[in-house]
């Protein structure tokens, strides 16, 4: 057990979250004209009552994007069911050889150099290659996906102008419409073909829905996992004793991954809109007000996690809500977990003496909804 690494993630306002959980757990934020929920129990209440807290139209003033993430029942369930069988732990387990091969190849490239930027050379390429394979688009196009994704989420402090964003969105559309057209004439064993052949209430998905689904799978599938992998290296840097333990006991890796997810959630919160006037804690929430579930604060709630500010890879139970909870629970959780487990175990087997390059600062991702680092240069021996 170790103290939480305040150095790399010093910007996470743990003290403020603690104070809010104690003094104002359901807090009205005038700037957002909405509520922020800090306690675990309240967060679970919101996420497990989708009939009261909607996922639709969550961003005032923005067009509604018809992806399952922003849909309520019954349509959400019907669309989710099209792909949910592909993402069960049993199905995902079958990707083990592919994931292993990609991890080995990525390491083969950097090992002769004895250095890498964890984010650019490892954490980003791995999930994009895997999700591109599942979707059915060539992994060689990963650089293009990344520019769209950065621009669409603006999560990595992207400096794109509005014009660049529009043109990226257009090239995303053109690219996927072409790939979808190819699949229409020649179906394959991939997610795009599955989406194309699916019918919901007797109708095929619209082009807009198809594009949104591809966009969600592509972006949700890799930005988040990349940050999880990057955060794992930050933890390795700060807890050398954990690295030694994991080298001796690779079977502890799943527990370590869960603790990294809990302490450094690559998705820090989930937004909802109240569908009626209701009470949450002792606060009156009005219909149409937004409610932000602060997963990152809930993951440190002392009512749920004894000594929450300790990093403990043996924490059991560890019911963090980094993958959300309820009907929108992350579809890709089994995939993210498997990728992280395989990748990090191989890293610890193949490279030793992992050292952060002290001449280069670790720069956090500039987004309140994501905990991650933009680059993490390391040196090592094979």
Minimum distance between the CB of residue 60 and ligand HEM, rounded to whole angstroms?
A: 16
All residues at 6 or more sequence positions from 213 whose CB lies less than 8 Å from its CB, including other chains: 67, 68, 79, 83, 195, 205
The answer to whether residue 211 forms part of the interface with ligand HEM (CB under 6 A) is: no
Pattern 88-127, ligand HEM, x by CB under 6 A: ----------------------------------------
Q: How many angstroms from the chain centroid is the CA of residue 120?
A: 17
Number of residues that bind ligand HEM (CB under 6 A): 24
**Residue 248, Cβ density class (10 Å: 0-12 exposed, 13-18 middle, ≥19 buried):** exposed
Ranges within 16-75 binding ligand HEM (CB under 6 A): 55, 68-69
CB 172 within 8 A of CB 215: yes
Cβ atoms within 10 Å, residue 33? 11
| For ligand HEM, the closer CB: 137 or 220 | 220
Ranges within 140-199 binding ligand HEM (CB under 6 A): none
β-strand partners of 278: 285
Minimum distance between the CB of residue 196 and ligand HEM, rounded to whole angstroms?
A: 17
- Identified binder of ligand HEM from the candidate list 137, 211, 242, 336, rule CB under 6 A: 336
Minimum distance between the CB of residue 119 and ligand HEM, rounded to whole angstroms?
A: 14
- Identified binder of ligand HEM from the candidate list 156, 225, 290, 345, rule CB under 6 A: 225
Minimum distance between the CB of residue 226 and ligand HEM, rounded to whole angstroms?
A: 9
The answer to whether residue 224 forms part of the interface with ligand HEM (CB under 6 A) is: yes
The answer to whether residue 292 forms part of the interface with ligand HEM (CB under 6 A) is: no
* CA–CA separation, 284 and 288 (whole Å): 12
| For ligand HEM, the closer CB: 26 or 336 | 336
Pattern 260-289, ligand HEM, x by CB under 6 A: ------xx--x-------------------
Closest among 358, 361, 365, 348 to 379, alpha carbons compared:
358
| For ligand HEM, the closer CB: 8 or 220 | 220
β-strand partners of 118: none
Query: What string of DSSP letters covers 225-287?
Result: HHHHHHHHHHHHHH-HHHHHHHHH-GGGHHHHHHHHHHHS-SS--EEEEESS-EEETTEEEPT
Minimum distance between the CB of residue 164 and ligand HEM, rounded to whole angstroms?
A: 25
Binding range to ligand HEM, per CB under 6 A, among 4-12, 37-45, 224-232, 366-374? 224-232
CA count, 13 A, side-chain hemisphere, 108 = 6
What is the 3-state composition of the chain as percent helix, strand, coil, each rounded to the nearest 5?
50, 15, 35
Reduce the DSSP state of residue 263 to 3 states and report it: helix
Q: Which two tokens stand for residue 22?
A: 């104690």
* CA–CA separation, 188 and 194 (whole Å): 8
253-263 and 223-238 helices, crossing angle to 10°: 100
- Identified binder of ligand HEM from the candidate list 156, 193, 290, 322, rule CB under 6 A: 322
- Identified binder of ligand HEM from the candidate list 66, 230, 308, 332, rule CB under 6 A: 332
- Identified binder of ligand HEM from the candidate list 80, 310, 319, 350, rule CB under 6 A: 80
Dihedral sign for Cα 161, 166, 167, 171, please.
positive
Residue 119 DSSP one-character state: I
Binding range to ligand HEM, per CB under 6 A, among 3-11, 100-108, 214-222, 248-256? 214-222
Please give the residue ranges that form the binding site for ligand HEM (CB under 6 A).
55, 68-69, 80, 131, 216-217, 220-221, 224-225, 228, 266-267, 270, 322-324, 328, 330-332, 335-336
């Amino acid at each position: 057990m170790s103290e939480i690494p305040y150095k790399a993630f010093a910007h996470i306002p743990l003290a403020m979250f603690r104070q809010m959980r104690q003094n104002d757990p359901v807090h009205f934020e005038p700037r957002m004209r909405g509520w922020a929920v800090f306690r675990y129990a309240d967060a679970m209440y919101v996420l497990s009552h989708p009939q009261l807290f909607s996922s639709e139209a969550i961003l005032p003033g923005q067009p509604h994007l018809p992806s399952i993430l922003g849909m309520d029942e019954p349509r959400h369930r019907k669309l989710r069911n099209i792909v949910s069988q592909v993402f069960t732990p049993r199905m995902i387990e079958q990707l083990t050889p592919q994931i292993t091969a990609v991890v080995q190849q990525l390491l083969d490239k950097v090992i002769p150099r004895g250095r890498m930027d964890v984010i650019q050379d490892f954490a980003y390429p791995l999930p994009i290659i895997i999700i591109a394979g599942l979707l059915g688009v060539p992994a060689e196009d990963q650089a293009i996906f990344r520019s769209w994704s950065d621009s669409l989420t603006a999560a990595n402090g992207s400096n794109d102008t509005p014009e660049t964003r529009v043109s990226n969105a257009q090239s995303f559309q053109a690219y996927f419409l072409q790939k979808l057209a190819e699949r229409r004439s020649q179906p394959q064993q991939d997610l795009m073909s599955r989406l194309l052949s699916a019918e919901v209430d007797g109708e095929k998905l619209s082009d807009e829905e198809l594009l949104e689904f591809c966009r969600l799978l592509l972006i949700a599938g890799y930005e988040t996992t990349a940050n999880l992998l990057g955060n794992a290296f930050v933890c390795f840097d700060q807890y050398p004793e954990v690295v030694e333990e994991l080298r001796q006991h690779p079977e502890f890796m799943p527990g370590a991954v869960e603790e990294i997810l809990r302490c450094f959630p690559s998705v820090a919160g989930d937004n909802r809109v109240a569908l009626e006037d209701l009470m949450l804690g002792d606060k009156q929430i009005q219909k149409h007000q937004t409610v932000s579930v602060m997963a990152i604060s809930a993951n440190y709630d002392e009512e749920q996690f004894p000594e929450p500010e300790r990093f403990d890879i043996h924490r059991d139970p560890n019911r963090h809500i980094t993958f959300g909870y309820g009907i929108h629970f992350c579809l890709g959780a089994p995939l993210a977990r498997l990728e992280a487990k395989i990748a990090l175990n191989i890293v610890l087997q193949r490279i030793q003496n992992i050292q952060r390059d002290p001449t280069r600062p670790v720069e956090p991702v500039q987004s309140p909804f994501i905990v991650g680092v933009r680059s993490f240069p390391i040196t090592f021996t094979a």
